[in-house]
Chains A and B, each alone.
Chain A
Amino acid sequence: MKYIQENIFNNPKMLPTRDGFGKALVKLGEINEKIIVLTTDVAGSVRANWFAEKFPKRFFDLGIAEQNMISVATGISLENKIPFATTFGVFITGRVWDQIRVLVSYSQTNVKLVATHTGVTVGEDGATHQILEDIALMRVLPNMTVIVPSDFNETKKAIFAAADFKGPIYIRLGRQKAPLITTDDAPFEIGKSQKLRDGNDVTIVACGVLVYEALLAAEKLNKLGISARVLNMHTIKPLDVDSLLEAAKTTGAIVTAEEHQIAGGLGSAVAEVLSQQNPVPIEMIGINDEFGISGTSDQLLTYYGLRSDNIVGSVKKVLKRKR
């Protein structure tokens, strides 16, 4: 079975993950009466408007009141419905963290939290809107499942999986168009990473937008005679410990890559496991303890060193440390 789209390096199809979310919601609405969608004055931006047009009675726009959205979603979940609460990443994590902590995570309610507009690729709106801390904020919460899909197709699968999954779940999506990497056939299972490319010298563990850059990096490394494995770690929590340990054992060196603060994100999660169970050298690509700025998505990926060349650099570094 082919997991990866053809031609992704020359001419990838470009689609935003938020579109995958919007499409999946409509599909879900058709097959599951229990699906309720909530948003806070950003229906079009998060693509919840597509669901709203088809199922106006199961869609609620709460206005600019995110904290209340989490409380209301909780109440809805207690009435045996499946609420998807969605807004920009900043406003569905940081702004409402205590509501999530008590009502969703502590109470283990069946609330689905979907963030669009995450990371520096939010672009021109700048730092206030570019959440770089949400993975950390969500993964630290007990009972929370955290998913960062790498593309449009994977987003659809993640949304379907979230609807079937019982319990709290956070899904991190993006605003900008991103390369379509995975095929319709590629399997998706919460908590199970995908080996998108095999290799023996090093493993690149990536999530979200950085999966594409990781694949590009592996391609470049191949030309340098370095064989890199690429793991699409779409579930940050629960982390796929087995695949990670296997990768550490076989390749002996790890590079993590994410569009998030290095502190608390995917890299930290990987290090927490490996440092205790098989401490191989790790290098981490991500945001280095700073805020975002305005610019285009493309400019900012380069500005913050989130490109395949940066990953190649980190691989060279980690290989020097490899015993």
Chain B
Amino acid sequence: MNNIEKKQINNLIEISKQLRIDVVNIIHGAKSGHIGGSLGLADIFTALYFHVLNHNSNDPNWADRDRFVVSNGHVAPIYYTALAHSGYFPVSELSSLRKLRSRLQGHPNSLELPGVEISTGSLGQGLGVACGMALIAQKDKEDHLVYCSIGDGETQEGSIWEAAMFAGHRELSNLIAFTDRNYIQIDGNTEEINKLEPLAEKWKAFNWNVLSANGNDMEEILNAFEKAKKENSKPTMIIFNTKLGFPVSFMDGVSKWHGTAPNDKEAKSAIKEIEEYYLKLNL
């Protein structure tokens, strides 16, 4: 791959391991929280915060930063671990997740926590916010990009498609959104609850540039973002195929793990599986 060396990729993979372990520990400590999406998105959030995004944790409001809106706010645990490890606040604060008077609210609060662009948690609202940011960057000829994370279940919200139509119409080529395509929502499989497929075709029909990649493979993730950055006439949607709870096998495909905290035993075996997975990668 161009520009990104193997060593760099391995370094990112190492970081994603730490984020995953922290995610398990803080949700276990909080006794509640959304573990499945958080683990499944760990590779993508690592790629964003440690390679893709142009940002500066010492100056969270730096005007030229790339914006990143987390529309699926329930994945706060991976968001917070990525922010903490990139210096927005002390890593030691992670253990306060969901506790009384913590800055780490159950869903992200932009007034409390540096690095959070906007409060989310009510699904379907973030993509429109990203559109607003991208619109102004386009109008003012600013170079920064706007990224946005959405869930696949979240995509059932009508407001997602209002934003989709808007971005396509306005040719917001500075907007790079991605879908956490794990096929799981709270009540089960997205295709059984309220079918999303053909998902790529839907986005194409709304005049988006559509890419797809394995969202649990660092090299594929980085390549997808590289490609998206080169697009210059349409907004890009990257459909990242992920697994809920990856790489924890007992969470794979089990919707209960969308939002259940692991007990002591489950947390232990989750961490064991995570460690074994990274060991096997043989970095």
Contact = CB atoms under 8 A, between A and B. Distances in A.
B168 interface: no
Interface residues of A, number: 29
Interface string A107-130: 000000000000000011111110
Contacts of A61: 187, 193-194
A299 interface: yes
B36 interface: no
A62 B158 CA distance: 12
Contacts of B190: 63
A294 B102 CA distance: 8
A299 B101 CA distance: 11
Contact of B101 (A41, A127, A128, A293): A293
B63 interface: no
Interface string B72-105: 0100000000000000000000000011111011
Contacts of A65: 156-158, 194
A127 B193 contact: no
Given A62-B194, A63-B193, A68-B158, A126 B185 contact: no
Contact of B153 (A63, A91, A303): A63
A136 interface: no
Given A63-B185, A91-B122, A303 B100 contact: yes
Contacts of A91: 122
B10 interface: no
B185 A128 contact: no
A125 B104 CA distance: 11
Given A124-B32, A125-B121, A293 B186 contact: no
Contact of B100 (A42, A63, A90, A295): A295
Contacts of A200: none
A104 B251 CA distance: 40
A126 B194 CA distance: 27
Nearest to B151: A64
Interface in B103-142: 104-107, 109, 119-124
B100 A294 contact: yes
B187 A42 contact: yes
Interface of A: 41-45, 61-65, 67-68, 90-91, 95, 123-129, 293-296, 299-300, 303
B121 A63 contact: no
B186 A129 contact: no
B154 interface: yes
Contacts of A125: 32, 106-107, 121
A41 to B, nearest CB: 5
Contact of B99 (A90, A129, A294): A294
Contact of B120 (A43, A68, A128, A295): A128
Given A44-B186, A64-B157, A67-B158, A129 B101 contact: no
A67 B124 CA distance: 12
A61 to B, nearest CB: 5
Contacts of B158: 65, 67-68
The 10 A-B residue pairs with the shortest CB-CB distance, nearest first, are: A63-B194, A128-B121, A126-B106, A295-B100, A63-B156, A125-B106, A126-B105, A124-B98, A64-B156, A294-B106
B30 interface: yes
Interface in B159-187: 185-187
Nearest to B121: A128
Q: Chain B binding site: helix, strand, loop or mixed by DSSP?
A: loop
B109 A126 contact: yes
B106 A124 contact: yes
Contact of A126 (B31, B98, B123, B124): B98
Interface string B198-241: 00000000000000000000000000000000000000000000
Contacts of B153: 41, 63-64
Nearest to B106: A126
Given A64-B156, A65-B157, A126-B106, 10 more contacts: A41-B187, A44-B186, A61-B194, A63-B153, A64-B154, A65-B156, A95-B122, A127-B119, A129-B121, A303-B100
Nearest to A293: B105
A299 B187 CA distance: 29
A127 B105 contact: yes
A67 B122 CA distance: 13
A14 B124 CA distance: 35
B270 to A, nearest CB: 20
B156 A126 contact: no
Contacts of A128: 73, 106-107, 119-122
A255 B119 CA distance: 35
Contact of B98 (A62, A68, A90, A294): A294
Contacts of B122: 90-91, 95, 128
A290 to B, nearest CB: 12
Contacts of A64: 123-124, 153-154, 156-157, 185, 194
A296 B73 CA distance: 20
B106 A129 contact: yes
13 contacts: A41-B187, A43-B187, A61-B193, A62-B194, A65-B158, A67-B158, A95-B122, A123-B32, A124-B31, A126-B106, A129-B106, A293-B101, A295-B100
Nearest to B123: A64
Contacts of A294: 98-100, 102, 104-106
Contacts of A293: 100-101, 105
